[in-house]
Amino acid sequence: MQAKITRIANIVTIATLSVVALYFAASFLIPVVLAALLAMLLVTVSDRLEKIGINRAIAALIPVLLFVCIAVVLGFILSWQINRLAEDFLETKTQITAKIDIIRKWISDTIGIDPDIQNSMLQEQEKKASTWAGTLFFNIIDTVSSVIVNAILVVVYTYLLLFYRSHLKRFALHIVPKDKRQHADAIIRKSVTVSGRYLIGLFNMIAILWIMYGIGFTLLGLEGALFFAIICGLLEIVPFFGNFVGNLIVIISVLAQGGDGRMVLGIIFVYLTVQFLQTYILEPLVVGQQVNINPLFTIMALVAGELIWGIAGMALAIPVIGIVKIACDHIPSLQPWGTLLGPAHSKGNKTSLLRLFKRISR
């Protein structure tokens, strides 16, 4: 009984310390984990370049540069669309000002607040808003600088992980006992393969969402249709919540531009149509079951990722828990946990769950 209590206490202590370490080391670990996933995505291209005789340093550099070029092109498209939206801002501002004047007149006629008093109240709020805007400006500058630094770190880490992948693999195999190295090698190879395939499927899904949202928003006559389509597609990296948040941003922007109820209903229709096609047709064909995690633990992983690492944690949660499942599937003592993380219809699920409860009760 004492041994069982000690074992449970050790597990709880290790888990708690791990979560604390992940939380406080987030600024260091997030770029490393993201770079590791990108390296898993690009390693196939690097391997093929090496097979045709290209030096490893160049073979590791080429796919990284291609990825950076794609990101830069995407950034230019977004900035172009933002500039287009900025050109329409003056017209939107005029519409909003007219609506504010109507509201102020209604307040004066209905409630009896004199327009001069309203102006003084607005001036006080403008003073507070100017102070808040200054703070917000510096916060934005700080955030942008942090993003740029982290982006550079991710690129550098990705290249170095690709270049030193054999060295890192040898290290990983040497820290496990000799009789376990075959399992460790299988875990590494399958983790790299599954993570790479998942990311490829995810990027393909994002591209298809860009096309579908772009067509839908264009048919609705939405200003900046391409911009909002790209935003909705990129937010797909956060499963379940990303598309909803993206379309909510679109609806708020339409209302700010003076859009009517028909436009909002059209956006909701586009969202529901895309969600239906994505859930029942595209995901099984494009993404498939590469990361075979059941919905319960998928949502739990997203929530835990957001609590520990914020939005980055939500984006990285699915591939990370997929790698954890692969490790559990290849380690006999952890196989029940792998089954628990997997879908409920897996063969031998009941037997494995019984084994899991037996191990916990020991």
Q: What is the tens place of the pLDDT at every residue in 340-356?
A: 887 765 444 444 444 44
Gyration radius from the chain CA atoms:
26
- Of residues 150 and 280, more confidence is placed in 150
pLDDT tens digit sequence for 176-202: 888 878 878 888 888 787 777 777 777
Give SS3 for 222. coil
Checking if the pLDDT of 149 tops 70, the result is yes
Checking if the pLDDT of 255 tops 80, the result is no
The average pLDDT across 289-296 equals 67
pLDDT tens digit sequence for 56-79: 899 999 999 999 998 888 888 777
The average pLDDT across 131-160 equals 76
Residue whose entry in the numeric block shows the structure tokens 């017209």: 91
pLDDT tens digit sequence for 225-254: 888 888 888 887 776 667 777 778 888 777
| Cβ burial 6-44 (10 Å sphere, 16+ → b, else e) | eeeeeeeeeeeeeeeebeeebeebbbebbbbbbbbbbbe
- What is the per-residue pLDDT for 341? 81
CA–CA separation, 324 vs 329, rounded Å?
Answer: 9
